[in-house]
A and B are shown apart, each in its own frame.
Chain A
Amino acid sequence: MRAIVRFTAEEARPELEELLQAQGLPKADALAPRLRALVDEAFAAYLELAEPRGVFEDLTAEAFAAVLQPLALEPAALVVGRVYPRANALALYVATLGEAVPARIRALMDDGSLAQGYMLDAVASLGADLLSDLLAERFLDRQPGGGSNGLRALPYSPGYCGWPTTGQRPLFAALRPEEIGVSLNESCLMSPIKSVSGVLVAGAPQAHKFRPDFPFCHQCRTRECGARMASVLSH
Chain B
Amino acid sequence: MEILERIASALQQGDDQQVATLTAEALAGGMAAGEILQRGLVAGMNVVGEQFKAREIFLPDVLLSARAMYAGLDHLKPHLAREGVSLRGKVVIGSVQGDLHDIGKNLVGIMLKGAGFEVIDLGHDVAPERFVEAAQREKAPLIGLSALLTTTMPRMKDVVSLVRERGLGGSVRVIVGGAPVNADFAREIGADDYACDAATAVERVKALMGVS
Residues of A that sit less than 8 Å from B by CB = 23-25, 32, 34-35, 38, 109, 112-115, 118-119, 121-122, 158-160, 162-166, 185, 187-189, 193, 216, 219-222
If A24-B58, A187-B98 touch, does A114 touch B103 (CB 8 Å cutoff)? Answer: no
Min CB gap B41→A, angstroms: 14
Interface of A is mostly: loop
Segment from B75-83, B148-156, B157-165, B167-175 that makes contact with A: B148-156
Cβ of B63 and Cβ of A219 under 8 Å apart? Answer: no
- Quick one: closest A residue to B16, CB to CB? A112
Are A115 and B64 interface neighbours, CB within 8 A? yes
B98 neighbours in A (Cβ, 8 Å): 165-166, 187-189
CB distance B14 to A220 under 8 Å? no
26 examples of A-B residue contacts, CB within 8 angstroms: A23-B58, A23-B59, A25-B60, A34-B64, A35-B61, A38-B60, A112-B67, A112-B70, A114-B110, A115-B14, A115-B64, A118-B60, A119-B60, A122-B103, A159-B152, A160-B149, A160-B151, A162-B150, A166-B98, A187-B98, A189-B124, A216-B150, A219-B150, A221-B179, A221-B180, A222-B179
By Cβ-Cβ distance, the 5 closest A-B pairs, closest first, are: A115-B63, A114-B63, A219-B180, A115-B60, A164-B151
B100 on the A face (CB < 8 A): yes
Q: Is B5 an interface residue (CB 8 A)?
A: no
Q: How far is the CB of A170 from chain B (nearest CB, A)?
A: 15
Chain B min CB distance to A188 (Å)? 6
Q: Is residue B125 contacting chain A, with contact meaning CB distance below 8 A?
A: yes
Q: Known contacts A113-B67, A114-B110, A187-B98: does B150 contact A220 (CB below 8 Å)?
A: yes
Task: Determine the distance from Cα of A187 to Cα of B94 in the docked complex, in whole angstroms.
Answer: 15
Query: Complex Cα distance A89/B98, Å?
Result: 30
Residue contact A114 to B106, C-beta cutoff 8 Å: yes
Name the A residues within 8 Å of B58 (CB-CB).
23-25, 35
Closest-CB distance, B146 to chain A (whole angstroms): 14
Main secondary structure of the interface of B (DSSP, over half): loop
Q: How many A-B residue pairs have CB under 8 A?
A: 77
Q: Nearest chain B CB to A6's CB is how many angstroms away?
A: 24
- Does B48 belong to the interface (CB within 8 Å)? no
In the complex, chain B residues whose CB is within 8 Å of the CB of A121: 103
Chain B residues, CB < 8 A from A222 = 179
- Taking CB atoms, residues of chain A closer than 8 Å to B151 are 158-160, 162-165, 216
**Which A residue's beta carbon lies closest to that of B110?**
A114
Q: Complex Cα distance A33/B152, Å?
A: 38
Cα A165 to Cα B99 in complex, Å, equals: 9
Set of chain A residues within 8 Å of B179, measured between Cβ atoms: 221-222
B59 cross-chain contacts in A, Cβ below 8 A: 23-24, 118
The distance in angstroms between the C-alpha atoms of A221 and B149, with both chains bound, is 10
Residues in A with CB closer than 8 Å to B124 are 189
* Nearest CB of A to B167, in Å: 27
Which one, B14, B97, B106, B185, contacts A34 given CB within 8 A?
B14
